[in-house]
Amino acid sequence: MRKFLAVVKHEYRKVVLRWSFLIGTLLFPLLGLGFAVVPALIFSIKGEPTRIVIVDREGKLGPRIRSNLSPEKIAQKQAEALKKSSFEPTVDPKQSADSLKNLTEGFVFMPFDLNGKSDEQIRTELNSMAAEKKIDAYLIVPDDLGGKFEFLSRKAGDFVASGMLEDAVNDAVRSERLTEANISENTLKQINKKADIETKAIDEHGREKNSDALLAASFVIGLMIYISLTIYGQVILGAVVEEKETRIAEILFSSARPFELMLGKLVGVGLAGLTQLGIWVTSLALLVGFLMLQTDIAPLLAGAPHITPLMVGYFLLFFLLGYFLFASIFALIGSMVTTVQEGGQFAFPPIMVMLIGFYFSFAVIRDPSSPLSFWVSIAPFWAPITMPVRILAETPPFWQIALSISINTIAICGMVWLCARVYRVGMLMYGKRATLPEVWKWIREA
């Protein structure tokens, strides 16, 4: 037992004390941070307002454009856009508009005297003002609606400002045309209004829940398990091949039983994987917590799926089940081959099996209670990926979870037993790769 623990400790430290582990562990939360927090922070940094002159001889469109560019209007527009793009229908446009108002940089309208100046003079004067940095941009409104608008800006690259201006001009022109055609803005809005469809799932307790957010979360869970299994499978493969390649196995086998060594390796690397997932899950929880505190974004998260600690527990448990299943396959491969490269070729089939499991998780997300979902979520090798997805999408009855755990535990015992037999012979076979009939013989004779 002491030797077993020594192996566990050694393998755990070997993985955790590597730079790649540190980087990999930090990268995920940092990416999450990058996607979720950084844009919010960047938006909260207000840009300098754009100082703009609107040249409008007719005086018809100018006031409309001005009002369209007011901070209230811009914020309202952005909130509407957000509502359209987001899967989150519970956002109240008014509420968001209030919060977004503070986030958006605005326009400042600069006075400019047109009286008695030719177009040419106006241009030259405005251009020199821009050059002196007295103004940032100007807009020349044509005399009739069909004419060409000219927008000249010192900061032509500021696509946010240009975009807003374009929208404001378009809206102004449209309103003007509507007025000319005697149609009120409100009538048009009524005509244009889209039917509002909100998709929600009903869970087994008859409660409504939001399906889009669930879909995303289930997908993330499936992906996380799939990626972790692939990574830690390869870690095991590399560690086994290293001991074989360097002939350390010979020293190890003269010190401890092969079974202790193999199991210690699986457990040690598995704990390292659990550490990484633990850090990820924790940082995800912290991230969500942080976002909740940001009042600006909190409404977006109101419909986030409710993940209970029990679900997190299941998630880690199924990761471990999948890990032991696949890690023992990778250990078996590692003891068969002579180099890491050779091992890479043999690693393809188990990775395919994982990938198929990952694809099955889409079917599970679509219909978590279908017979297909039931079978793939209890089947060995696939359940570790599909069952957590299913639990999140629509928690199945407990007996199914228990059945899945038992079946996969039995499969693990079988795989570890098989692997141990190949491992003790294979690790000492140098020189050439073992063929499958040879491996079969080792299993039978060991």
Partner 1 sequence: MGEDDVTLRVDSISKSFGDFSAVDDLSFNVRAGRIFGFLGPNGAGKTTTIRMIVGITIPDSGEIELFGKRINGTAQDHIGYLPEERGLYKKTKVVDQLRYFAALKNVPQKEADRRIDRWMDRMELSEWKNKKTTDLSKGMQQKIQFIATVLHDPDLLILDEPFSGLDPVNVEFMIDVLAEFRQSHKTVIFSTHLMETAERLCHDILLVNKGKKVLAGSLREVKESYGRNRVAIRVDGAHDLLNNFSGVESIEEKADEKILSMRSDADPQELLRSLVSSGATVTKFAYVEPTLNDIFIEQIGGAK
Binding-site ranges for partner 1 (CB under 8 A): 2-3, 6-7, 9-10, 13-14, 18, 242, 245-248, 250-257, 428, 430
Rounded to the nearest 10 degrees, how much is the dihedral formed by the CA atoms of 402, 405, 407, 408?
Answer: 170
Q: Enter the tokens of residue 296.
A: 């600006």
For partner 1, the closer of residues 48 and 250 by Cβ is: 250
For partner 1, the closer of residues 256 and 353 by Cβ is: 256
Q: Enter the tokens of residue 207.
A: 């409660």
- The SS3 call for residue 65 is helix
Strand partners, 50: 107
Cα separation values, 53 from 71, 147, 171, Å: 17, 19, 18
Q: Least distance from C-beta 424 to partner 1, angstroms? A: 9
For partner 1, the closer of residues 97 and 236 by Cβ is: 236
Q: Are the C-beta atoms of 334 and 237 separated by less than 8 Å?
A: yes
Q: Which helix H or strand E contains 109, and what residues bound it?
A: strand 107-109
For partner 1, the closer of residues 8 and 140 by Cβ is: 8
For partner 1, the closer of residues 331 and 354 by Cβ is: 331
Q: Least distance from C-beta 7 to partner 1, angstroms? A: 7
Counting Cα atoms < 13 Å in the Cβ hemisphere of 168 gives 28
Q: Least distance from C-beta 243 to partner 1, angstroms? A: 8
Q: Least distance from C-beta 250 to partner 1, angstroms? A: 4
Alpha-carbon span 45 to 40, nearest angstrom: 9
For partner 1, the closer of residues 6 and 274 by Cβ is: 6
For partner 1, the closer of residues 1 and 181 by Cβ is: 1
DSSP notation for 374-431: HHHTTSTTTHHHHHHHHHHHSPPPHHHHHHHHHHHHHHHHHHHHHHHHHHHHHTT--S
End-to-end CA distance of the chain: 23
For partner 1, the closer of residues 3 and 433 by Cβ is: 3
Residues near 385 by beta carbon (within 8 Å), at least 6 away in sequence: 222, 225, 226, 229, 318, 322, 354, 357, 358, 360, 361
Helix (H) and strand (E) counts in the chain: 19, 6
For partner 1, the closer of residues 296 and 342 by Cβ is: 342
Phi and psi dihedrals of 187, rounded to 5?
-60, -45
**Amino acid, res. 87:** F
Q: Least distance from C-beta 247 to partner 1, angstroms? A: 4
Q: Which region holds residue 305: left if phi is over 0, alpha if psi is between -120 and 50, else beta?
A: beta
Alpha-carbon span 213 to 303, nearest angstrom: 7
Q: Which helix H or strand E contains 262, and what residues bound it?
A: helix 258-293
DSSP symbol at 369:
T
For partner 1, the closer of residues 61 and 434 by Cβ is: 434
